[in-house]
Structure 1
């Protein structure tokens, strides 16, 4: 009460300085702004979504993205999964439905990600704002704005193509939607929540088993701590996830044992690679590694959250100031997204962690007496707080940086921590202002991702032309990439290479070339280079292929390349000699920036020259313990 009285006294003092009628003028202006702000917020959300969709037609990364596309095109062609994931089987029907059109597939991925996030935002905010009109434009604008913070997933590397990462995020969104419903809703709605938990958990397992292994006990702990100890419903949800997984196992391998062996073999191969994703290396605590700029931005966001929370309490005219700030920032964000030469502000999505940090600090300073009313929501708030790390668990990258792709969960956690305050308010316009300010943080992340996309040139360049990727739809690539891809196609066509022929990529960084050529990569989609076990993994994987396939396989090599495998060692493993058993089909230079390297390297395509039967017999002699027939 003391704080409120002081605020009222200061507000009266300021109004006395501004003169007679200032209250009426200020209230009139604030009312106009409050009515227009939801519309401005919707426009800002639409601009961020449109920006992501438009630039999803740009670029083609030859490494990770090429790997994703090979998995999507033929998931059943591979028995080894590095990393351990089954995302290709989930997205393959969509890939076929869209005819393999890369741009359409990317845009569906963007819309699905945004859609499930919007659903979660609506479910959460209906609980946190029980007195608001959930059918109003203001509510729609606020929840859509919150959902646009999920677009920072694409801002991390600008790999918009569906992958195990996107499926993990989408599955987690669905799981948390179900969790929020199960905790706070009643009757038939709660049943829907349990179904969402089961389906979401199943998707997360298929996408990334390591994340599923953490998510399952975390969700269970949240339910127990929230007092939702409906063991029948919990068992039903778990049974649904298990049933869907078993059905997939039978569909993929014909038996549960076969699927189990596939998982075990993939884990063994992952250990052989030595990429840092081994079991004994994924349990770790990483540093945030904040730059001075990021530290400053995080402090500003914390202050913004505290000021916004005080504005919700109608403290010292802050509600008007905060609303007006959001009102004027919205067109600035839109203009920034439309600006072709917009500067990159140089910070990472990890700064979104300051949203729950600011909310917790506000509760500690101003609302600590309301902790009792917050207690039922604390388990959900804490689970959302650690969700980005659950998402990142198992990767060989920094957990903070990788987890920032799921930075939406930090935003949601901050909002849940503010539950006592939000439940006392019905003014959605103030939350729209807060959302616009958060969009002012997220929009620069999208812009700098497009200015410096993963292992490619800036998309803001005029140096982009159409390329008919795999003859299944155009993507925009740089002139250098277009010339590179066109030269490779010309070489293989003149050499007599046919779609569906096997080709072994020993460059360690060019699965995208194989995808564009419609080649089949024996063993696995990408023989990734530069790791201590890259050669050993390639040999072990190819040992599982039939000798008939390897006898007819072409080679893509890059002597002296930055990630090249040992061509001689790998080919000797199936009885081939790199010099005497292949002829040069053609050579070419990589595009500048291909695979993340500015230097242009020489690559060659080698065509098998031996009689097929002779090559098969040599392969069988090289590995006498393995006798396989052509599939």
Structure 2
């Protein structure tokens, strides 16, 4: 009697059918990590209150029409939900988490489609990409912000670039690519318009480098037309009309230029030298290098003992791709950002795209490929080109913001993960599925571990999340949130002192501390022009003067003032006198408080007589 062949311990071992049992066993830990990580965030959605960045985001959401000095329009959209759930911070946080998770699933489906045809690997990839999106909460800022829209849009744009590089140009596919590019571009523009310019330019550059000219032209024209249509609809229905929308954007742009003023050419040269010196340290401190290092390690571990000629060229292409990735990182994020204080935005963008183009050509030369325009899939080098494109989009996503681009680009970790995985899957043969699984798990668990780490040292909170146990309510809110003891004392003292001196919601408040927009949120104040008069920059005094001038004398004469006599980011109080206010002689101290974060002494001043 003929015996039955031995069965695989992981179920059906036939290569023609998905090995479901093995998939369940191998994917279960990653799925559990996904559920626990997102569940941990949702469980803590009612904890913590940052008086700086997060408060600025919440003021944009709860009072989007008051903030005429914000070039970012994310508050217009999230403000729609605040009409149904007024000032409900936990709901907004959970909504933001759900929104970015849904977009990450969209991105992961398209990325995994071109990474592997194996059912097990594709399942793990989708879960890994969803987990990697946790990087946006790397400072435990889970309230949705402009960064949420920038990352969501960048992932949609990246998915379109992946499709354009790895798929033949059918007309229907071109339209879908163009539509996704436009939708992603609008989302990025809602978050930060300068990022939309950079992300769109870099994505267009990579598509133009690998697609035939006519196909590139069709995609580009369709994407631009859809983008303009969507943005006009946004401006007309949520921006109060196209003309008021453009007026608000131009005003915010002028304020940003004022804030960044005061630097000389010599300052820029010094910043360039400092940036170049700091390249190694910055790269070791961000996920970009982590992705490159993981890929290099995998390259040496997974090197087959005998390579055919084509496999050798692929391996060389991958190594060259990693080298180009590091070079693009150093150039794009340091040298260009270093001259941002004096360079025109258009000049900076040209430099950025020029650098991307030169490194693309360098990678092409190292790979020994000519990248013929007649071949949209670029022969065997499409994984390398896709990896470089994803890394480039991630690197330029913070373009136009404050701070160092390479550090801020850590928010786009899902794109870095995609870059590393395209290289890794190209290097590791499908037969070595265990090594492929190990790489995916390594990249997936990094953000999970970091998430639990930052919960113990959250950004701009004096205590860990476990110490957020004191309930407070924000002005106009019926949903309490839990904060640490020091923050609760600051909130209660500020509010009680203001109420004892006749404070009422909607009263104007001028924050001269330079870093406490949370005061307006606690008191329910009307912050003229912008909720955050940023301090600590060379152009901060001019910025504050511009805000006060735009507010007008009628608002200023009734405004209360918050100061920080010894604050590190305080604004120059001389601008108050220059604006016609009799400060401090025309005011009395209504409250003297100390913040939890920064441990900064602050004074709340009430006008005792009308200013002339």
Length-normalised TM-score, structure 1: 0.74
User: How many Å apart are 1:511 and its aligned residue?
Assistant: 0.6
Alpha-carbon separation, structure 2, partners of 1:462 and 1:234: 51
| CA contact 1:182–1:191 (8 Å) conserved in 2 | no
Cα 1:472–1:526, aligned 2, differ >3 Å: closer, same or farther?
farther
Cα 1:128–1:445, aligned 2, differ >3 Å: closer, same or farther?
same
Is 1:97 aligned with 2:84?
Answer: yes
| CA contact 1:58–1:459 (8 Å) conserved in 2 | no
| CA contact 1:374–1:420 (8 Å) conserved in 2 | no
Cα 1:233–1:460, aligned 2, differ >3 Å: closer, same or farther?
closer
| CA contact 1:271–1:277 (8 Å) conserved in 2 | no
Alpha-carbon separation, structure 1, partners of 2:447 and 2:304: 22
Alpha-carbon separation, structure 2, partners of 1:418 and 1:444: 22
Is 1:144 aligned with 2:127?
Answer: yes
- Give 1:160's aligned residue: 142
- Give 2:25's aligned residue: 36
Q: How many residues align?
A: 531
User: How many Å apart are 1:518 and its aligned residue?
Assistant: 1.0
Is 1:435 aligned with 2:428?
Answer: no
- Give 1:191's aligned residue: 175
CA deviation map 1:18-64 (0-9, x unaligned)? xxxxxx99x74898876511112211222222233333432111111
Unaligned runs of at least 5 residues, structure 2 = 1-5, 14-20, 308-324, 330-359, 372-377
| CA contact 2:47–2:468 (8 Å) conserved in 1 | no
Cα 1:29–1:167, aligned 2, differ >3 Å: closer, same or farther?
closer
User: How many Å apart are 1:419 and its aligned residue?
Assistant: 5.5
Alpha-carbon separation, structure 2, partners of 1:428 and 1:277: 54
Between structure 1 and structure 2, the one with the greater Rg is 1
CA deviation map 1:179-203 (0-9, x unaligned)? 3344527564553332111111112
Alpha-carbon separation, structure 2, partners of 1:61 and 1:277: 30
- Give 1:246's aligned residue: 232
* Aligned alpha-carbon RMSD (Å): 3.9
- Give 1:473's aligned residue: 479
1:78-477 equivalence runs, <5 A: 78-81=67-70, 84-129=71-116, 131-133=117-119, 139-155=122-138, 157-183=139-165, 184=167, 186=170, 188=172, 190-227=174-211, 229-230=214-215, 231-251=217-237, 256-274=242-260, 287-290=278-281, 301-302=294-295, 304-306=297-299, 309-310=302-303, 373-418=379-424, 420=426, 425=430, 431-462=436-467, 464-470=469-475, 471-477=477-483
3-state secondary structure, aligned to 1:604 = strand
- Give 2:42's aligned residue: 53
Cα 1:297–1:549, aligned 2, differ >3 Å: closer, same or farther?
closer
3-state secondary structure, aligned to 1:90 = helix
| CA contact 2:563–2:570 (8 Å) conserved in 1 | yes
Alpha-carbon separation, structure 2, partners of 1:267 and 1:291: 29
Cα 1:454–1:293, aligned 2, differ >3 Å: closer, same or farther?
same
Alpha-carbon separation, structure 2, partners of 1:289 and 1:118: 33
3-state secondary structure, aligned to 1:210 = helix
Alpha-carbon separation, structure 1, partners of 2:368 and 2:41: 40
| CA contact 1:76–1:252 (8 Å) conserved in 2 | no
Is 1:552 aligned with 2:558?
Answer: yes
3-state secondary structure, aligned to 2:229 = helix
CA deviation map 1:534-572 (0-9, x unaligned)? 2221121111123221121111122232222233x2322
Cα 1:299–1:292, aligned 2, differ >3 Å: closer, same or farther?
same
Alpha-carbon separation, structure 2, partners of 1:559 and 1:301: 48
Is 1:67 aligned with 2:49?
Answer: no
